[in-house]
Amino acid sequence: MFLTKRLVVKLPCGFPALISASILYSFSAVTPKDAAHHASSLINQPNWKTNQTFKSLVSHMNPSVAAQVVLLQNDNVSLALQFFRWVCQHSTYCYPITGRIHLLNLLISSHSFQIAHKAIIELIKNCSKCENDLLKLMEALDEMRKTGFRLNYPCYSILLVSLAKLNMGVLASSVYKRMVAEGFVLGAIDYRTIINALSKIGFVCQAEMFISKALKLGFELGTHVSTSLVLGYCRQNDLQEAFRVLDVMSKPDGCGANSVTYSILIHGLCEVGRVEEAFSLKEGMKEKGCQPSTRTYTVLVKALCDHGLIGKAFDLVGEMSGKGCKPNVYTYTVLIDGLCREGKIEEANGMFRQMLKEDVYPGIVTYNALINGYCKEGKIVSAFELLSLMEKRNCKPNIRTYNELIEGLCKINKPYKAMLLLGKIVDNGLLPNSITYNILIDGFCKEGHFYMASKIFELMNSLGVNPDGYSYTAIIDGLCKQGSLKLANGLWGKMIKKGINPDEVTFTALMDGFCKIGNTGDASKLFKMMIVNGCLKTCHAFNVFLHVLSKECKLIEEYAFFGKILKHGLVPSVVTYTILVGALLQAGKVEQSLSMLKLMKQVGCPPNVYTYTVVVNGLCQIGRVDDAERILHLMSDLGVPPNHVTYTILVKAHVNAGRLNHALDITSFMVKNGYEPNCHIYSALLAGFVSSNKATKAGSSSFISPLDFGSPPAAENCDECVSRNVLKEMDLDHVLKLQAEIEKFSGSVLDFYNFLVVGLCKVGRIAVAEHLTKDILKDGLYPDKACFSVIDWHSKNSNCNECLEVLDLILSHGFLPSFASYCSVIHCMRNKGKIKEAQRLFSDLMKDNSIGEAKAVLPHIEFLVNCDEPEKCIELLKLIEQMANRERPVI
């Protein structure tokens, strides 16, 4: 037996069983026998494949009728096979592998073995790109054996080739045993195929056994077999043995190495990071009279891209072209992927277009790399445009394509949209995998939608997709951050019962959750369990406790914990030391904290920007702002440049101390060092101008509105940092004064206006927000966030005309509105029943995004623009669960 698992052939859930009533009626008018004879007469006519009557007849022909048509061609096996291919590709019944297997079963049950053997060869070739399809076919062939049917030699030989292509060496070995048991005499090509299949998966010892058998039978050990052996050793990372085989091949009486041999060795060197040796080997092969091939160059191009040396990769491609090696689809894909990883999405798109211009057609891996690049940059429209291009070019998206899109939607905070993509996955006959569900769980947890995350988690269990450690950890971490420790702890228990061992991340997430609610007792129990289970690999867990102790100002206990880190043989991280530095500053022990910085350097764990930022923050808290400023200037000299957080703390400290000019000097210094002010800094400076103005009016310089700088801001999120009171109190005079200062030190006026308008919209000062937006657009700048905020405010207040006015204003100044702005206006139009205006905006949106194939992309744009539909997501989950649990008819 190839496999022991029994094949269950079921219709996919998107199976087109619901045919239109007219088609059903037309088929009911004739018997299956009449339909078979009609089709048979048509295929015996010239150009039958283009016959419209034939196409219409075959499009909904079920396997039983198709089998009769094939059997009617017994006298013409070639024609029977042609029809078999045609019906498999064009009938809605027989397109999936399950339908083809059923058709094959019908042929065998009719004892039409000659046609069946030809059809099996055809099916094996078709399955050579999909492991699951080939496994299903092999299971079916096992079932057919029970009826007395046997494969012939050509079937077995082609099966070996397909197994080798899919790296299924163990099954290839099983097929060999079956062939021997059935009395087949294998040829040299079969032995070469089996040796190659085993070598591909690193089974070198087994491959050598087959080499011995082949030599005993008198077959020669040619370049192909020796190269397979080199591949096997490379797969085992045993490069010494791989080079030994090369030496044997290169001897005067050896079989000789070719470009494939060298390419495999070069790839092996690159895999273990020996890139320089790989380049040396490329030069060495030239000396041996063997020229590098496109494959050789592509391997090296990928190695350079993997090391972030994209410029050198392009230089190598130039050399490659100069040597007459034309880049192929794999070369272009490697370059596109490398550019996307570097965030150079436009360059990657340019490479994609060049690829098409050179008549090199992208494969699914190419599309996936570019889609992933667009999704990482948040350019979802472009990603979905690529999806439509794939579909147009008959490049069927795989589950990875959809996983990239789902992750992209989750990254732009659209998990419900991502959830609805599951419906499209199922419609395309694909099955979501654990990665799909994990992305969705993580996406919903990050947005705080734990109900949906839990529902997806439950669905995984219903579908037989076992949740893994990542699934459990994502939900446990999310629940802990929400403070739902009881639920998190319950899930932890289920995880252990399932036999899934928690790792360090899971332990730390739950411990952190307990610590945050003050339950250090249960956190300590987990910590002990963590040690017993051998999960204590780093000091992250210790850092969780240190952080709690530092908040409680328990310095002695912190030192004790630090000792425990050393006792367990762990190396304290920069985070560990930083927590201690912060605790010393909090306890007023400034000199000791500075001594800790020296200790960090001595033990080889130098302070990083966050350590120094904690020092700056601590000094500011105790009023030593000048000392904090000295630390900031010292950081650059030490090769640790300050970041936004460091600058923000000091700017806010100066403003709090009534030293607005000093705060502006720090901001100027920041800009000179390549950092643009963020929302925190703009908010602080604006507060300084408002307070300064109040103090002047009151005739006193002592009145300053305090700002909270107690802890470094964790994120530069405008929603969290805008001071509502300041934005309510400030006037245009304050804005102009701050703008003048920003222009003095060459800061970004555009960023300032984006901050300002977003904040004004939040506090309801829409008139001022609109006035400022119009002013900045007149100056030739496009404040995209500001424009969206104004549009979104009007959209939420159902002011459709005002929305359109802002949109037209953006366009009139030569700028393109953002996708989010279009979505907001379209939602407003639809809610007010202005469908025609919404459709016009759809057209404008696609036009502005340079989308040529509007019809192909329209469904995707419609999907993206539509409002989130949580109810529809719940319905979809239920539907998928029902389809998974429901027995579907066997065809």
Say whether pLDDT at 22 is over 50: no
The region of weakest confidence among 297-301, 369-373, 507-511, 545-549 is 545-549
| Residue 581 · residue 603 · CB < 8 Å | no
Residue 644 CA to residue 674 CA, distance in Å, equals 10
Residue 584 CA to residue 607 CA, distance in Å, equals 15
Torsional class of 31: left (φ above 0), alpha (ψ -120 to 50), beta (otherwise): beta
Residue 380 CA to residue 373 CA, distance in Å, equals 10
The region of weakest confidence among 84-98, 316-330, 499-513, 732-746 is 84-98
How many other C-beta atoms lie within 10 A of the C-beta of residue 490?
Answer: 13
Say whether pLDDT at 13 is over 70: no
Closest Cα partner for 193 from 174, 165, 170, 213?
A: 165
Domains of the chain in sequence order: 1-149 (no CATH), 608-747 (1.25.40)
Tokens 């599951």 belong to which residue? 422
Residue 458 CA to residue 484 CA, distance in Å, equals 18
Mean pLDDT to the nearest integer, 844-849: 73
| Residue 62 · residue 93 · CB < 8 Å | yes
Closest Cα partner for 550 from 599, 507, 593?
A: 593
pLDDT tens digits, 105-138: 877 877 778 888 888 888 888 888 888 888 888 9
pLDDT at res. 193 = 92
Residue 208 CA to residue 191 CA, distance in Å, equals 11
Say whether pLDDT at 3 is over 70: no
Torsional class of 630: left (φ above 0), alpha (ψ -120 to 50), beta (otherwise): alpha
Residue 682 CA to residue 665 CA, distance in Å, equals 14
pLDDT tens digits, 693-715: 665 555 544 333 444 433 444 43
For residue 536, the Cα-to-chain-centroid distance in whole angstroms is: 29
SS3 state of residue 223:
helix
Say whether pLDDT at 158 is over 70: yes
SS3 state of residue 112:
coil
| Residue 615 tokens, joined | 């020092």
Dihedral sign for Cα 454, 460, 466, 470, please.
Answer: negative
pLDDT at res. 92 = 59
Mean pLDDT to the nearest integer, 300-308: 92
pLDDT tens digits, 723-741: 678 888 888 899 999 999 9
Closest Cα partner for 620 from 646, 598, 583?
A: 646
What average pLDDT does the structure give for the chain?
82
What's at 72, amino acid-wise? L
pLDDT tens digits, 854-886: 666 777 777 777 777 777 787 777 777 665 555
pLDDT tens digits, 644-656: 899 999 999 999 8
pLDDT at res. 114 = 82
Tokens 């690193």 belong to which residue? 202
Helix, strand, coil fractions of the chain, as percent rounded to 5? 70, 0, 30
What's at 275, amino acid-wise? V
- The enclosing H or E element of 249 equals helix 239-250
Non-local CB neighbours of 441 within 8 Å, separated by 6+ positions: 453, 456, 457, 471, 474, 475
Closest Cα partner for 302 from 333, 279, 345, 260?
A: 333
User: Which of 248-252, 363-367, 427-431, 869-873: highest mean pLDDT?
Assistant: 363-367
pLDDT tens digits, 574-595: 888 888 888 888 878 888 888 8
User: Residue 8: pLDDT band by 50, 70, 90 thresholds?
Assistant: very low
pLDDT at res. 553 = 67
- The enclosing H or E element of 773 equals helix 766-778
Say whether pLDDT at 524 is over 70: yes
What is the b/e burial string over 300-314, where b = at least 16 CB atoms within 10 angstroms of the residue's CB? bbbbbbbeebbeebb
Say whether pLDDT at 2 is over 70: no
Residue 307 CA to residue 699 CA, distance in Å, equals 62
Say whether pLDDT at 315 is over 70: yes
Say whether pLDDT at 161 is over 90: yes
pLDDT tens digits, 466-501: 888 888 888 888 888 888 888 888 888 888 888 888
Tokens 């010892």 belong to which residue? 205
Decide: pTM greater than 0.75. no
How many other C-beta atoms lie within 10 A of the C-beta of residue 527?
Answer: 20
SS3 state of residue 60:
coil
How many other C-beta atoms lie within 10 A of the C-beta of residue 42?
Answer: 17
Phi/psi of residue 238, nearest 5 degrees:
-100, 75
The region of weakest confidence among 40-44, 193-197, 234-238, 597-601 is 40-44
Say whether pLDDT at 221 is over 70: yes
Mean pLDDT to the nearest integer, 232-250: 91
Mean pLDDT to the nearest integer, 681-703: 71
For residue 785, the Cα-to-chain-centroid distance in whole angstroms is: 26
Long-range contacts of 733-740 (CB under 8 A, 24+ apart): 733/693, 734/686, 734/689, 734/690, 734/693, 735/686, 735/772, 737/689, 738/682, 738/685, 738/686, 738/689
Residue 849 CA to residue 872 CA, distance in Å, equals 29
The region of weakest confidence among 101-105, 194-198, 742-746 is 101-105
pLDDT at res. 695 = 58
Between the CA of residue 557 and those of 355, 583, 800, 838, what are the distances in Å? 63, 11, 61, 64
Question: Above pLDDT 70, what percent of the chain?
Answer: 86
Residue 708 CA to residue 398 CA, distance in Å, equals 51
Mean pLDDT to the nearest integer, 365-390: 90
pLDDT at res. 60 = 67
| DSSP letter for each residue of 283-312 | HHHHHTT----HHHHHHHHHHHHHTT-HHH
| DSSP letter for each residue of 471-538 | HHHHHHHHHHHHT-HHHHHHHHHHHHHTT----HHHHHHHHHHHHHTT-HHHHHHHHHHHHHTT---S
What's at 52, amino acid-wise? Q
pLDDT at res. 843 = 78
Which one is predicted more confidently, 543 or 405?
405
pLDDT at res. 95 = 59
Non-local CB neighbours of 243 within 8 Å, separated by 6+ positions: 265
| Residue 728: HSE in the Cβ half-sphere, 13 Å Cα cutoff | 6
Say whether pLDDT at 299 is over 90: yes
